[in-house]
Each structure stands twice: as C-alpha cells, then as structure tokens.
Structure 1
C-alpha cells in the first residue's frame, strides 16, 4: 500500500497565495529593506547617537554656570559660618574649647549651603530646559563638584589666614584669635551635585514632557500580520483514495 501523492495545481489556478489572503508568516524570510530616509538606531541615524554636539554644548554651558555659583557659596559660607576660636602658647595654636560645636558648625553650614544651592541649580536647569538631556545631567554633576571646590577655596580666602603657626607666634602666649574656614574632607563637595541631580530627576519625572508611544514592530523577520485573512477559506483539495489490491478500477 503506497501513500497518496499530493494533487497537482489545477490549470489556470496560481500556485501562490490567493488574492485577498495574507501570506503566511515565515520567521526565516529575509528582512525587509529599510528606506534610506528612515533614521532608526539600527541605521545609526540621529536617533541612534547617544551624545551629540548640542548635548555637548549644553553640558559645557551648564557646568560653567553652576561652577560660577561656587563664588556665592563661598561668600555665604564666610558670612554665616560660626567663628572658631584658637589660643596660642607662643609657638602653636590649640582650640580654645575642645568641646565647642563651632568647628562642627563650620562643616554643617557648608553642607547646608551646598545642598540648598544644588536644589536651586537643579530647579533652574529644569526650568530652562524641561526636556532634560545627557548634557544637562553631565553639566550639573561636573559643575556641582567644581562649584563646591570653588566655594571652599573662596570662603577660605575671605576668612582668616590659614597658617595657624604664624598667627600663634604673632598672637603671643595666651593670645586668642579666629581660625580659618576649612573643610574636614572632600566628601562635602559631593552634596551639591547629588542634590542638583536628584532635584532635576524628580522634576523631569513629574513634570517633564512624555515620549510618544513606541511603534509596534513585527514579530520576527517577516512582514507584520495586519489582520485575519479576508473572504471564505478555499476548499480543501480532494485526494483520490488509494485503490486496494484486487479491486476493479474506478472510472
């Protein structure tokens, strides 16, 4: 007994898919060509660039503007920070009161001012550019660090001289004088950029523009299926029943 062979296509009937019927999806089919004017990330067009020239300029302008704000930080720190009193033994200087909180107040004042200016710079960056961008983020981060360094340097420049030994010799034994404005560590420089980035991120997430919905792409490599096939399904081909041995031939 042999297996039936498929019937050949009827004369005048095309072997391809019928009109009005969608072709069957083939996942191994060749990928359709992308038009030349389609700027997609796969073609490396404008949307595929991570950082462009406009973002670079925005980062530079933001960093310079935030860094200049460090002068305001140094001025406010010199004005608002408490005075730390030192006493001299004729050669060296010592804290007049070891349990005084003035030395901690100097660090706390700088931290509060840096965090406040960070919030203001993040708010200003959002108001000037609501869409955000990589350049704005990099400018806030780098400008915040540079602004903190500039503020610490400028505040120390406005305050008393930092050479405690020379001032102790000048004050004489038992003399009392004010100490310089100094930070205990560079970790405080990170408060400004962290506050600026956190403020800018929250504002963009809450009030920033929303991106359009992504375009639906076809599954696999073949063309997308637009919908179910239209029209009635074609009749199934009738295959002749195999003839049993000894059976008389059928007409």
Structure 2
C-alpha cells in the first residue's frame, strides 16, 4: 500500500479538558503525540503518502507535523470544516487525495503494536479490518469473525471489536453523497454482500478516549521504555 488515511478530525469530547486547546491525536503519550506513533509505523511499513483529516483545532496539525519530511513521508491535510464528518464522511471527503487504489486507514486516537506491513496490499472484498478481543468497556464486540475470514453482524465465529485499523477500497464509500455519515452502514452493506473480511489481533492495543486511558497508556509506555 502506498497511501494511508489517519482519522484525526474528532472533537475529543470525552477527553476534555485536555482537548480544549489540543486536538486529541496531538496529545502526548510516551513522549510524543499519539499521531506520531502512527506516522513512524507507517513509514516503517513502506507507506510514503499520508492524508490526515482535520476539523477541531485543525491548524495545529500542520504546525506540529509539517509536511511529514521528518518521517520520510508526504503529508496532505483534508479539512472537513468546523464540524467533523464522522468516519464515513471523513473517508469520502479524503478520497480525492487518496486516489483509486486500496489504502490503509487508522484512527489516530488508538495505540497498538500491530505491524502495518502485515496487512494485505488489497482486501479480498471491499475492506479488511483488524479485530481485537473485546475490552471491558465494549464486552459485546462489534462483528463476528468467521473461520472463512468474513465478518458478519451475527452468526458463527468469534465476536470481536473493530480495532480501527483496516485496508479499504474507495468503492466502499465512493458512491455515498458527500456529507456527514458513519462507516457502520457501509460495513453492514458490505457484510450482507460477503465483501467485508478481517483478522484477529491479540497484541497490544489501546483505545485512547478519555484522560484516564491516556494516562494509563502513557504509564505503560514509560514502564516498557516505549518499546
């Protein structure tokens, strides 16, 4: 994969008051902004072109990250306006910058040691999602991962949580009207057509949605030497 999208446009409401002056992906963990961990890992995986979607305090992203040269990347910014367009709308808005080939997309407010180079260059269907064991705060999971690698809303297989890491074909959202919408209905449509695949990942993965979760991640990275 040559291109990647980082979702960074959220308001970070659950992270307040920290996000009153700083976008959530720019909050530090382990001595660097959350989003910098992704940029380092993308560069290590051979990605050279990254689109970052922005909304809340958007001007801070280019001020902090620049053009990506320090990581050997080329960064482009897709501004969504003062109100974020949600995951689906944000992806749809970024398509003109991403091109026609499959691309990697990641939420900038997670942390994981998943190796992005392990993802398939092209999904078997419309998307390939990384699924993780259900955390305590989401015990019911999102989708069932079957033995055939397909994801379903219900049915046989392991019920897991979407880890907000995936490979997508532009066709997943290309025909949606521009504007604000979630990815979930697009996933559901793809699942009904047997075109959503996934894998289970049991390594380190953190959702960073609240000040407490950020503090816990920062402490873990300090204990492990940010390895």
TM (norm. structure 1) is: 0.17
TM (norm. structure 2) is: 0.18
Q: Which has the higher contact order (CA 8 A, sep 6+)?
A: 1
**Which protein is richer in strand relative to its size?**
2
Over alpha carbons, which structure has the higher Rg?
Answer: 1
